[in-house]
Structures are given as structure tokens and as C-alpha cells.
Homo-oligomer: A and B are copies of this chain.
Amino acid sequence: MPTYKYPRPALTVDCVIFGFDRQSTLKVMLIQRKLTPFQGSWALPGGFVRIDESIEAAALRELQEETGLEKLFLEQLYTFGAVDRDPRERIVTVAYYALINLEEYVVKAASDASDAAWFAIDALPPLAFDHDQILLIALNRLKNKVQYEPIGFELLPRKFTLFQLQKLYETILGHELDKRNFRKKILKMGLLRELNEVQQDVPHRAAKLYEFDEVAYEQLREKGFNFEI
């Protein structure tokens, strides 16, 4: 058992995985804890960083073990280190976040978690530890991000309607947007390619489908903009 000259905080990772479903609901992936503390509570997937793996590798491993999600593009969010954030002992956690399209991922609960499930952002259960704070900061990061960078590529199906894209923005920003204004702004960016197709099997009038222009998307992502919505 390793012994050190001075006491050391334990180091963990936590992952905020956002998903967007067919019904235009923004969701987050939670796992139900099997062990104390907060046994039975819902929490962000995560766990301890091993001595021989990078922090990001630990986040990817824990995600895979606890939720079955693999090969996500994780971005580092923030490191949380309040002295009393864990009742067990001093634990510092590095939080990551990712955006995924729910239709492409099937989630299976695995080893550590008795359950893994998607929760709508506006109907969350109480969370273990300071995970509500971590989630809040991830949501704010997402809100900021949509002002300066194109978003949706990771969250929407490959072909989508302008209504779906607007719903995505509204869900992330937490308020409604003017339809005409939104369409004007988003089309002006040269980000979308209008397809010669319409929606299939919808009860209402089928809307036109669009896809992202990957080159324009990448350029705008690097250059940035101000959406001012």
C-alpha cells in the first residue's frame, strides 16, 4: 500500500454527457449509485483516475464501464476542488462534457452502476455530491458556446429541419426564439446545405431537410461569431 510524506487528495473524473432526442428534449446521462455515500442517488458517471492513465483516458474508461458509451469527443469543463465536496475525504474531480445524438447511441448500464439513464434537463432528480453544480456549469458552458460557435453537428441527426435546429437552440438557451429571425440569421451564416428532400412519415406538412456543410461548419467553429440571440 503506497505511503506518502504528505496526505494527498484523491483524484476523480466526472462526465456530463448531453444528448438531444427526436422530441427535441435536451437530456443528460446519469447513473444510479450502488455504493455509499449517496447510495441509490443519481450521479454523473465517473470514478477514480488510475496512476497510469491520463485524466481523459480515465473519463473515457469510466464512461464505457458505467454507461457503455464509447469513443466520445470529451472536452474538459472545469476542475472542482472545494475541500468538503465529498463526505468521504478530500476528493478533487476533473469534469468533462460531450454532446451526442441520442438516436445514434444505445446505452447499457454496466458494472459499477445499477442503472444508467437519460434525464430531461428540466426534470432532474436530486444529484449526489456537488453534481448539480457541475451540471449547472456545463449547461452555462453550452449556453456560451452556442453564442460563439456553430452547434448541432454532434447533437442532431445528419438530416434535420430548421424547426429541429431552432428547438435545439431554444432548449440550450432556455427560452423561445423568433422563428423568422432565427431562420434569417442561421441561413445567412452559410452553414447549412438545403437538401432536395422533405421529412418522411410525419403527421403534419413535411418540412424541408438540411444538413451541415462540414467545411463551413469547421471554419466557423475556428473563427467564431456572435449569434446574438
Write the residues of chain A forming the contact surface with B, with a CB cutoff of 8 angstroms. Answer: 1-11, 48-56, 76, 78-79, 81-83, 90, 92, 94, 144, 147-148, 224-226
Contact in complex: B224, A147 (CB < 8 Å):
yes
Contact in complex: B2, A7 (CB < 8 Å):
yes
Contact in complex: B51, A226 (CB < 8 Å):
no
Q: Closest 9 interchain pairs by CB?
A: A226-B226, A55-B81, A7-B51, A2-B7, A3-B3, A8-B8, A79-B79, A79-B94, A1-B3
A-B contact pairs, 14 of them (CB 8 A): A1-B3, A2-B3, A2-B6, A3-B3, A6-B48, A8-B9, A8-B10, A8-B11, A9-B11, A9-B51, A53-B83, A54-B81, A147-B224, A148-B226
**Smallest beta-carbon distance A122→chain B, Å:** 24
